[in-house]
A and B are shown apart, each in its own frame.
Chain A
Amino acid sequence: MTRKRGRGMAAVNYPTGMNLGGDPSQALIHATTTGSFVVTLSSVDLGQGLKTVMAQICAETLGVPTDNIIIDTADTDTGPHCMGTFASRGTHRIGNAIIMAAKEARAVMLEVAAEELEVDSNDLTTDGAGTIHVKGSPQKSISIFNVALAAHFKHGKSISGRGIFLQPRSYPEPETGKMTPATCYAHACTVAEVEVDTETGEVAVLSLKSAYEVGRALNPRMVEQQIIGGAWMGISHALYETTEPYYPDRAHGPVDFNQYLMPGPGDLPEFANVVIERPAADGPFGAKGVGEMTANSPIPAIANAIFDAVGVRVDSLPITPEKVLRGIRALNA
């Protein structure tokens, strides 16, 4: 038995959102009597953490702590329209809608504070901790708690805001394919190191070393969640998964997790990751969508590493031990 090592690399980009049907999402924001802010959406959190990032974006724009934000989603009776959570669009589209809504709400909040403090609202700023004060003189201040109370019960003003982000529909030109399919693009490059067992054809991924350009990492630990989880899915796609193992023959389709193969916790490589930020001009605080992309660069990087190790090109996914072994035998024939 021989185990041969090899390494390969791959580089990819990924579009944020898709504009081929028009790509809108909305947000409504209002302050409670005591200065919490409710963001009402009909957007879906699939587990990527959309609710958390939306709260952070709202807090940053309003100038209040993230803990003061309540995300109310998803109910079509109360939440304004959202196209949905797909196409790496959530952070970008819904984030932009929230920024627009939060700016409107912040303007009202500062107007009320200005009246309470008897100053010009343009001279006011937020400290990010729950207080509004005159720029340059922090002692002349009022808490957002008191601003919200005053707005409700004294000024009769609704501290609220409406936001929508619409990427208008792009109609591809039928002859040439001229189109504006997406907004900004994220980027990645992965180096994979593998070990191939030449007797069984089995491939072990030893390490995945990747660089990801994400626009801006709005919540670094959550970006890391996408990176590790996505890279794992990339390994899984490269080496294990399919519902039709003998495609295009429909036979032998797996029906459970014993038959549908995925790498388990014992099949993990060493992960090393670097994040680069090139803020997108139209992204919320520069953020791009990266959730989908993280699975993509590991797949060809692993395929290229297998070739580097044993000289076998498997150009069909998944790269099963059977295909690798047949390739090795063909080389030796």
Chain B
Amino acid sequence: MEYRKDYFAETQTQDLTEVGVTRQRSDALGHVTGKTQYYADRQFAGLLHLKMVRSPHHHARIKSIDVAKALKVPGVVRILTAKDVPQNIYTILCLIQVEPNDEPVLAFDKVRFKGEQIVAVLAESEAAARDAAAKVKIVYEVLPAVFDVEEALKPGAPLVNEYHGRNYFTYEGHHCRRVRHGDVERAFAKADHVVEEMYQSSPIEHAPTETTGCIVVPDQNDRYTCYSNTQALYFTLDNTALILNSPFHKLRLVGGTVGGGFGGKVDVITEPIAFLAAMLTKRPVKYEYSREEEMQVSSPRAAERIYIKDGLMKDGRITARKVTLYVDAGAYSRHSPYGTTKAAAHMPGPYTIPNVWVDCHCVYTNRTPSSAMRGFGVTIGDFALEVQMDKLARLIGMDPMEFRILNAYRDGDMKAHQKQVEGAALVECVQAAADLARWPIDDRSKTASSLKREV
């Protein structure tokens, strides 16, 4: 890795001693000696193991749940169903007033995705918990399911989530998060070229080498400590207290050392039910996702479908960009309404385009709920935007680097979401990458700067 100190040289300061220099990671010695303590690197006497009974159907009504046979499996201590959860319906972002609560901790009337958790089995050993989970008998009435975001929005599509009453999240009365800047239709009418393309991604798993999990331990004084690999201790604590109707001060979260997160450990799934299990049994409880659960049940990065329609002039200026984006939230909100707004804010990419129209839809389907992942609301948008940019540059025979530099935002430009650009540096990144790859660009592009727009 090398520095290009010639860019923004006037802003460089030399008087720093502890930052700006490489220091050995404080955790490196622990990592190479195996001494780093992750949440599961602890032993507790009397530890109970929690295994979930999960939905085999994408969408079904639960007719009955029979745990009698499961309770007879040697080593089974207790079995939890929705009736045991004080406030069974929640949504993670209720903490920032995202409504409505739309997800059960344990499903009871319906399951809305394959793998949804319904019954929690607590046993002395993992094997006993697994055996008992297999003996829980649930009768389902299978319902029609919907898996495509645009199908889900059509009239007559199966209703995924009754708490929303429709298959999309409502943003202050709007059926999507919108951004409006200028007049795209007028600009399309005047453009030399109008290009409309569709982009699509499939769900992606975080795949941390350490799966999601926690251990909850009853302490003295009727308090409970949870050793967790959550990425956000207070999200977990506050949501758990609300779900369990518990005073906040009874709960304690300990963590901070995580075997990979990438956004997958921001959800609050394993902790509330493990806390509840520890409270009801007064014993330590471990709930750890298997690799299969991590792959297919934990929230993935959402699949997105993105339509981009651009107005382009022969000289390379993009005069209009219309984006219609669908986030496949799966069956429940989790962080998707937020990520959808983040996706809207990211449009039209790091370019100054005078006319922008954005509709970002957060759509419910009968698949594993999606949630945050590295580049939440941005990564797939960037794929679509930058492939589109390549197509536009080729269409008018312009070098793709020069095309980016021409349209790149500069300090003081107005973004589509009505914020002035500050601290821009896209032009310089393109110039430096061109240098590094020995990709020739014209003099005008070489001398361009993020600090001002050349006339």
Contacts and interface: CB of A to CB of B under 8 A. Distances in A.
Interface of A: 7-15, 18, 20-22, 41-47, 49, 51-52, 55-57, 59-60, 65-66, 71, 73-77, 79, 81-87, 128, 169, 172, 174-182, 184-185, 187-191, 209-213, 215-224, 227, 230, 233, 237-238, 241-245, 247-250, 253-257, 260, 262, 272-281, 284-287, 291-293, 295-297, 299-301, 303-304, 307, 313, 315-318
Contacts of A247: 200, 202-203, 303
List 8 A-B pairs, minimum CB-CB distance, nearest first.
Answer: A84-B232, A74-B256, A21-B96, A177-B179, A300-B386, A211-B432, A10-B386, A181-B345
Nearest to A126: B17
Contacts of A245: 202
B173 A222 contact: no
Given A191-B433, A211-B429, A242-B202, A12 B177 contact: no
B32 interface: no
B198 interface: yes
Contacts of A18: 338, 342
B432 A276 contact: yes
Interface string B1-43: 1111101100111001111111111110000000000000000
A275 to B, nearest CB: 5
A125 to B, nearest CB: 11
Nearest to A18: B342
Interface in B396-455: 400-401, 404, 408, 416-419, 422-426, 428-437, 439, 450
B60 interface: no
Interface in B247-279: 251-263, 265-266
B202 A12 contact: no
A7 B437 contact: yes
B437 A12 contact: no
Contact of A189 (B8, B253, B258, B433): B433
B267 to A, nearest CB: 11
A55 B26 CA distance: 9
Interface string B323-361: 000001000000000100110111001100000001000
What's the interface size class on B, roughly? Answer: 35 or more
Interface of B: 1-5, 7-8, 11-13, 16-27, 58, 93, 95-96, 98, 114, 147-149, 171-174, 177-181, 197-205, 207, 230-235, 237, 251-263, 265-266, 291-292, 295-296, 300, 303, 328, 338, 341-342, 344-346, 349-350, 358, 365, 367-368, 372, 374-376, 378-380, 382-387, 389-391, 400-401, 404, 408, 416-419, 422-426, 428-437, 439, 450
A218 B20 CA distance: 4
Given A9-B404, A211-B436, A274-B4, 13 more contacts: A12-B349, A20-B342, A42-B233, A43-B256, A46-B231, A74-B255, A172-B177, A177-B345, A181-B345, A185-B350, A209-B437, A237-B204, A299-B382
Contact of B400 (A215, A254, A304): A304
B233 A74 contact: yes
Contact of A181 (B149, B303, B341, B404): B341
Contacts of A243: 202-205, 295-296, 300, 368
A187 B374 contact: no
Contact of A174 (B3, B172, B260, B296): B172
A21 B199 contact: no
Contact of A84 (B58, B178, B266): B266
Contact of A9 (B181, B200, B439): B439
A133 to B, nearest CB: 15
Contacts of A210: 433, 436
B237 A12 contact: no
Given A304-B400, A315-B198, A177 B439 contact: no
Contacts of A255: 291-292, 295-296
B50 to A, nearest CB: 20
Contact of A260 (B171, B200, B205, B256): B205
Contact of A44 (B98, B231, B434): B231
Contacts of B261: 44, 46-47, 85-86
B255 A277 contact: no
Contacts of B26: 51-52, 55, 71
B234 A262 contact: no
11 contacts: A189-B432, A189-B433, A209-B436, A210-B433, A218-B20, A250-B147, A279-B8, A291-B374, A292-B376, A295-B375, A316-B199
B29 to A, nearest CB: 12
Q: Chain B CB within 10 Å — which of A60, A238, A256, A317 has the most?
A: A317
A191 B96 contact: no
A276 B251 CA distance: 44
Contacts of B171: 172, 174
Given A13-B350, A65-B18, A296-B382, A220 B235 contact: no
Given A15-B345, A22-B96, A211-B433, A276 B18 contact: no
A16 to B, nearest CB: 10
Contacts of A57: 18-19
Nearest to B304: A317
Given A12-B350, A211-B432, A82 B234 contact: yes
Contact of A220 (B22, B237, B266): B22
A56 B233 contact: no
Contacts of B437: 7, 9, 191, 209
Contact of B376 (A83, A87, A180): A87
A193 to B, nearest CB: 8
A271 to B, nearest CB: 9
Nearest to A212: B429
B21 to A, nearest CB: 7
A216 B19 contact: yes
A222 to B, nearest CB: 7
Contacts of A230: 374
Contacts of A191: 433-434, 436-437, 439
Contacts of B292: 255-256
B91 to A, nearest CB: 13
B344 to A, nearest CB: 6
A247 B431 CA distance: 38
Nearest to B385: A300
